[in-house]
Amino acid sequence: MNKLFAATLVAMSLVGCASVPQGDPQQDVAAKRFIVAPDKAAVYVYRNETMGAAIAMDVALDGSVIGTTGAHTYLYKEVAPGKHTVMSQGQDKVDFDAAPGSLTFVWQEVKMGMMAAGSKLHIVDAAEGKKGVADSSLAATK
């Protein structure tokens, strides 16, 4: 069993990084200023790790797919204040209540399983979230 697991990890590392559509470089710079209009809220979903680099993962906000993450990428979306739900790969979800003018940071942690990769979503504080986003590049967001 250990040999199978080791062989799987080696094979996955040879595949390379998942390619996801990149966002506009100017939007990347603007989103990393971490400023949102006082009557809106913003959510960042980021993946700042190399684990599972060969896997692209869909992310939905309030039931609609907003984009796909790969290693060291993030998605940015302005939302109306209120209750929202982020879902990853149709598996894990996290709910949050966005106050006007607030920033919400959701870390998408990759979890390797026996048959497929999954993810776990975590709401993190602003300091950790800003660092994770700063270490990542904007993926195309719908």
Whether 57 is covered by a domain: the verdict is yes
Per-position b or e across 99-108, b if 16+ CB within 10 A of its CB:
eeebbbbbbb
pLDDT for residue 50:
81
Checking if the pLDDT of 14 tops 70, the result is no
**Number of structural domains, the chain?**
1
Render pLDDT for 65-122 as a digit per residue (tens, 0 to 9): 999 999 999 999 999 999 999 999 878 999 999 999 999 999 999 887 766 678 999 9
Q: How far is Cα 19 from Cα 51, in angstroms, rounded to an integer?
A: 14
Which structural domain range is residue 25 located in? 17-138
Whole-prediction pTM? 0.85
**Average pLDDT in the chain:** 87
Whether 134 is covered by a domain: the verdict is yes
